[in-house]
Amino acid sequence: MLLRFHPISSFIAKISNMGSYDPEYGYLYDVKGYVDRTTGDDINVFYLKKNGPFWIVSSTGTGP
């Protein structure tokens, strides 16, 4: 969120681990308080995948 999306959102959004793992996409996180600047839509979930020492957002959406 800090680099790819809006930097302020990385500090004010509430992010919770949903306890789910997908081999293709990674770990599923619930997100509250984030709006995509391009579309104006709420983004409610992120999939995060570890890439070396870094975590990357592999997918975003409105929920499973």
DSSP state letter for 59: E
Domain boundaries, the chain: 9-61
Radius of gyration of the chain from Cα atoms?
11
Report phi then psi at 47, rounded to 5: -105, 130
Q: What is the pLDDT of residues 14-64, one digit of tens each?
A: 889 999 999 999 999 998 888 777 777 888 888 989 888 988 888 888 765
C-beta separation of 32 from 1 below 8 A = no
pTM score of the predicted model: 0.70
